[in-house]
């Protein structure tokens, strides 16, 4: 099958925002024809992200989540378990330490390479460099959602209002306690988490850390927590 035919197949499966069993089997048959050619598989995954991004630009609020579900299922099909190390987890986790490592640069890079979605759950956000990267992702039709703390949202320098004015969905806790998490999920495939608040102080002065991992179990756990908080703070 030629590349343009693969692209057409992906777009066809996206028409109803569902990846049926028959369509999964068609994609698996396609992969059998390129077994061992990881470059070709990567190209097909890139096509899936491109198709999802185009669909997100046209979709309404409800359809956007269907698009993301389609993308998740498609990417999993295009990157099956036999290509993963034992235990079903992807290799790769890297740690970053502030102020020595360029933590803010890595976070902005993650937003720059996001294709479809970023879910942010961070106690306080005041670093304009990160917010600028979030805005650029939002303008590329990446589906960005933000959860933060209500008290910190009122602090001087907080960018929560600015994010809302951009049209990025934001929810904050309304309790007497704090929403103290610091994590973000990029394209449902990479998790960033640690002590690092998204502030200039964290970048320049504080002893902070975060790690980035593709561990499936952790992604599942953090995604579940984000979705729970998103519902709770509605």
Q: What is the pLDDT of residues 168-198, one digit of tens each?
A: 999 998 877 889 999 999 999 999 999 999 9
For residues 200 and 128, give the distance between their C-alpha atoms in angstroms, rounded to a whole number: 8
- Could you state, in order of their start, the residue ranges of all structural domains in the chain? 3-83, 93-232
For residues 214 and 31, give the distance between their C-alpha atoms in angstroms, rounded to a whole number: 22
Q: What is the pLDDT of residues 86-123, one digit of tens each?
A: 444 444 689 999 988 899 999 999 999 999 999 999 99
CATH value of 93-232 in 3.30.870.10, 1.10.1020.10, 3.40.50.1370, 1.10.150.20: 3.30.870.10
Average pLDDT of span 26-32? 78
* 155 contacts 197 by C-beta, under 8 angstroms: no
The predicted pLDDT at position 90 comes to 46
Is 29 catalytic? The answer is no
For residues 60 and 57, give the distance between their C-alpha atoms in angstroms, rounded to a whole number: 9
Q: Spot the catalytic one: 94, 178, 180, 228.
A: 180
- Does 67 or 78 have the greater pLDDT score? 67
Is 182 catalytic? The answer is yes
Contacts of 43 (CB under 8 A, 6+ apart): 3
User: Which burial class, exposed, middle or buried, applies to 146 when counting CB atoms under 10 A from its CB (0-12, 13-18, 19+)?
Assistant: buried
Q: Spot the catalytic one: 149, 159, 187, 215.
A: 187
Distances in Å between the Cα of 42 and the Cα atoms of 30, 36, 46, 152, 156 are 13, 11, 6, 40, 44
Is 180 catalytic? The answer is yes
């Amino acid at each position: 099958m030629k590349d343009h035919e693969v692209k057409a197949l992906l777009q066809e499966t996206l028409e109803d925002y569902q990846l049926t069993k028959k369509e999964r089997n068609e994609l698996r048959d396609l992969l059998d024809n390129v077994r061992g050619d990881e470059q070709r598989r990567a190209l097909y995954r890139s096509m899936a992200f491109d198709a999802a991004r185009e669909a997100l630009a046209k979709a309404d609020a409800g359809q956007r989540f269907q698009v993301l579900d389609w993308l998740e299922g498609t990417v999993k099909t295009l990157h099956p378990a036999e290509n993963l190390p034992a235990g079903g987890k992807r290799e790769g986790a890297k740690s970053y330490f502030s102020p020595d490592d360029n933590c803010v640069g890595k976070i902005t890079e993650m937003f720059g390479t996001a294709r479809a979605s970023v879910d942010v759950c961070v106690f306080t956000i005041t670093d304009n460099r990160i917010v600028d990267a979030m805005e650029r992702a939002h303008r590329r039709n990446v589906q960005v959602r933000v959860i933060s703390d209500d008290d910190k949202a009122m602090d001087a320098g907080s960018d929560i209002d600015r994010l809302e004015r951009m049209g990025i969905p934001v929810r904050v806790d309304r309790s007497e306690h704090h929403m103290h998490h610091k994590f973000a999920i990029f394209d449902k495939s990479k998790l960033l988490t640690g002590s690092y608040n998204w502030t200039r102080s964290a970048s320049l002065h504080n002893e902070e850390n975060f790690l980035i991992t593709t561990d499936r179990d952790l992604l599942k756990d953090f995604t579940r927590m984000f979705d729970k908080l998103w519902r709770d703070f509605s």
